[in-house]
């Protein structure tokens, strides 16, 4: 029957479109994959078929059910509208990831809906046009694919003449669709974690497609309980309960500065003086600088809980948008509020962006200041929010009036794509080798101006400043950073206004260590909950999670753990493997168990540990 022939022809054309997207995804991201790509492409067809089956279930029901509405022109139009309305959004998402992957390091998942519900929708209306312009090649790809999509023959109007044949074709089609949706005849349907298993490759992201990831993470439970150890064994290996035995708590002011996309690669101090942060380089000799510091994620939305509440994202959805965001916990602001501190959080973006406003309130910050509070459109960058220069000045003015002791944090934004800087400062900073370098220079200059203003104030000498990055930039030039470890390498430094804190620390540290380190430096002497540890405890490890895989950095090795299969590497480029690393694996298992069970049971306090 012509009806069925054209229906399956449409599915075949969609498969070709998905295959072309995978080829382009690879060509624009070759640095991220190994050479075993042929099998990745072949295995990817399996995931494409599964996605297309799920997406086109409504169409299957309308088209294949044997009723004579098929001969009606309105029915024909309806089925064609359903085809476009269900397939085009997923086609767009699949292509957007060609470039967005550089930033997210994963395929888009259902957490995009959580992001939009937290205020990202208003950002999207401003960012999407910019994205379409900056990444014009993706726009061109989408236009070409849409052109071919609309050229596919429409389902014809057709009267059923042979009911037994029509019913038989329906049953065969249902069987084919079930097989396609499951991804084969294996015991269980394929999931995101299965990508790369058949082809025995680490290119799981290349095997997957974005529609598959969106569909298979929708309404998914974030975590499952782990039971590697009993409670006594667990606490002996890794504890989230902390207490420093000190006598006199020091009520110093705390200022946490989170710099957007400030990769370690951009800081001259870490790269033989070759960088784009002259001010930061000048501050480091007067600071406690961490030589081996890592982010716990690669998204801004993952950084804030890690830095200010010592809660990493060791699951597929960011903590802020997860099922556990309403758990009870104490961030650094809430802990210090109990000691008489006032608190504030600043971000120049739209209120609600990435859930920052909601999280800051939950974490204990008294006041939140964003683009709406700044309320001056002339300093709007046209995309994300207020330029760093005027917004850091706004931040300074607030601190000068703030009651001491205080804790305050500011999150910069100008070094985020599209990397805009004020027109009057264009061609002021080195453009470097990457598009981000000029905006890094601008944000570093803003830091310089902030400190020049701050050191004139009475509160300055009694203030501990922490400067770090939310995550690294996908823009990388040096080969040393073009690996998984380099993707998480950031600066972390602690600076006292009276210059009393100096030195170089070689401990492996991370964003979740910032809160306990601050409390250690303040001689805080009460119990608190933290997934991290103070840098003075000499516990050398850092952890992150991406695409169903843990990355555990410990001493001179790093472990990848995917689906309970652990591989230990002796070198940072993941080339030399070793078999026995029992002590590190036990610690990794203990961290996984503490994290999952603490979040599931809502036990993020010392009372429960």
Supply the pLDDT for residue 2.
65
Which option is the CATH number for 231-608: 3.40.605.10, 3.40.50.10800, 3.90.1150.10, 3.40.720.10?
Answer: 3.40.720.10
Q: Does residue 121 surpass a pLDDT of 60?
A: no
Q: What is the pLDDT of residues 203-232, one digit of tens each?
A: 888 999 999 988 887 766 678 999 999 999
Q: Does residue 125 surpass a pLDDT of 70?
A: no
> What is the average pLDDT score of the chain?
88
**pLDDT range class, residue 5, cuts 50, 70, 90:** confident
Using CA atoms of 164, 166, 168, 174 in order, give the dihedral in degrees to the nearest 10: -150
Supply the pLDDT for residue 33.
82
Q: How far apart are CA 2 and CA 157, in angstroms?
A: 10
Q: Does residue 608 surpass a pLDDT of 60?
A: no
Mean pLDDT of 490-515: 97
Domain ranges of the chain: 2-217, 231-608
| Residue % of the chain over a pLDDT of 90 | 58
Instruction: Find out whether 151 and 111 touch, Cβ atoms under 8 Å.
Output: no
Of 4-13, 36-45, 227-236, 272-281, the least confident: 4-13
Supply the pLDDT for residue 72.
72
Of 161-170, 452-461, 518-527, the least confident: 161-170
Q: What is the pLDDT of residues 316-326, one digit of tens each?
A: 888 988 878 87
Helix or strand run (H / E) with residue 12: helix 2-27
Nearest to 307 by CA among 517, 111, 488, 454: 517
Nearest to 209 by CA among 28, 54, 51, 317: 51
pTM beyond 0.85: the answer is: no
Of 70-84, 315-329, 585-599, the least confident: 70-84
Nearest to 171 by CA among 82, 275, 327, 66: 66
Of 94-108, 237-251, 272-286, the least confident: 94-108
Q: What is the pLDDT of residues 11-34, one digit of tens each?
A: 889 999 999 999 999 999 988 887
Beta strand segments in 225-365, E: 241-242, 253-259, 288-294, 342-347
Using CA atoms of 52, 55, 57, 59 in order, give the dihedral in degrees to the nearest 10: -90
Counting every residue, how long is the chain?
Answer: 609
Q: Both tokens of residue 276?
A: 């784009």
Q: What is the pLDDT of residues 384-401, one digit of tens each?
A: 899 999 999 999 999 999
> Among the ranges 110-114, 164-168, 176-180, 277-281, which has the highest mean pLDDT value?
277-281
Supply the pLDDT for residue 130.
75
Mean pLDDT of 404-422: 95
Supply the pLDDT for residue 157.
55
Q: What is the pLDDT of residues 173-213, one digit of tens each?
A: 788 888 988 888 877 788 876 787 676 566 888 999 999 98
């Amino acid at each position: 029957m012509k009806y069925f022939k054209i229906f399956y022809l449409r599915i075949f054309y969609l498969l070709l479109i998905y295959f072309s997207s995978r080829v382009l995804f690879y060509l624009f991201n070759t640095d991220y994959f190994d050479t075993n790509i042929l099998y990745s492409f072949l295995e990817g067809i399996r995931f494409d078929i599964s996605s297309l089956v799920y997406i086109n279930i409504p169409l299957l029901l309308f088209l294949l059910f044997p009723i004579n509405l098929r001969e009606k022109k309105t029915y024909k139009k309806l089925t064609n509208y359903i085809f476009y309305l269900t397939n085009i959004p997923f086609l767009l998402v699949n292509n957007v990831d060609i470039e967005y992957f550089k930033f997210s390091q994963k395929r888009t998942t259902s957490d995009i809906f959580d992001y939009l519900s937290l205020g990202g929708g208003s950002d999207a209306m401003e960012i999407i046009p910019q994205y379409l312009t900056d990444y014009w090649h993706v726009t061109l790809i989408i236009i070409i694919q849409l052109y071919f999509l609309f050229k596919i023959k429409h389902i014809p109007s057709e009267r059923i003449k042979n009911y037994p044949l029509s019913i038989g074709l329906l049953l065969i089609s249902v069987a084919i669709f079930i097989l396609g949706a499951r991804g084969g005849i294996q015991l269980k349907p394929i999931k995101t974690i299965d990508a790369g298993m058949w082809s025995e490759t680490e290119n799981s992201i290349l095997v997957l497609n974005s529609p598959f990831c969106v569909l298979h993470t929708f309404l998914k439970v974030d975590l499952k309980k782990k039971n590697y150890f009993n409670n006594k064994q667990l606490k002996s290996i890794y504890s989230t309960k902390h207490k420093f035995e000190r006598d006199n708590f020091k009520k110093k002011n705390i200022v946490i500065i989170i710099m957007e996309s400030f990769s370690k690669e951009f800081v001259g101090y870490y790269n033989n003086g070759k960088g784009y942060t002259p001010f930061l380089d000048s501050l480091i000799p007067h600071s406690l600088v961490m030589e081996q510091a890592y982010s716990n994620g690669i998204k801004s939305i993952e950084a804030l809980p890690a830095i200010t509440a010592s809660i990493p994202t060791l699951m597929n959805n960011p903590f802020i948008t997860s099922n556990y965001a309403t758990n009870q916990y104490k961030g650094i602001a809430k802990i210090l509020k109990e000691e008489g501190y006032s608190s504030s959080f600043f971000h120049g973006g739209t209120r609600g962006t990435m859930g920052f406003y909601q999280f800051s309130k939950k974490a204990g910050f008294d006041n939140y200041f964003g683009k709406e509070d700044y309320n001056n459109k002339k300093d709007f960058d046209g995309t994300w929010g207020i330029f760093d220069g005027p917004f850091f000045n706004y931040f300074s003015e607030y601190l000068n009036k703030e009651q001491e002791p205080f804790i305050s944090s500011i999150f910069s934004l100008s070094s985020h794509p599209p990397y805009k800087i004020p027109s009057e400062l264009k061609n002021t900073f080195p453009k470097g080798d990457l598009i981000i370098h000029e905006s890094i220079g601008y944000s570093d200059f803003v830091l310089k101006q902030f400190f020049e203003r701050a050191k004139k104030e009475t509160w300055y000498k009694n203030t501990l400043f922490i400067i770090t990055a939310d995550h690294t930039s996908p823009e990388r030039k040096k080969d040393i950073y073009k690996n998984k470890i380099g993707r998480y390498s950031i600066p972390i430094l602690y600076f006292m206004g009276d210059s009393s804190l100096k030195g170089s620390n070689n401990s492996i540290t991370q964003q979740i260590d910032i809160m306990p380190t601050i409390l250690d430096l303040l001689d805080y002497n009460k119990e608190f909950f933290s997934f991290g540890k103070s840098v003075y405890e000499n516990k050398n490890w850092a952890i992150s999670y991406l695409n169903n895989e843990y990355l555990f950095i410990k001493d001179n090795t790093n472990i990848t753990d995917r689906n309970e299969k652990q591989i230990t590497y002796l070198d940072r480029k993941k080339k030399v493997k070793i078999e026995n690393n029992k002590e590190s694996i036990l610690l990794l298992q203990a961290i996984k168990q503490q994290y999952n069970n603490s979040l599931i049971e809502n036990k993020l306090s010392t009372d429960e540990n």
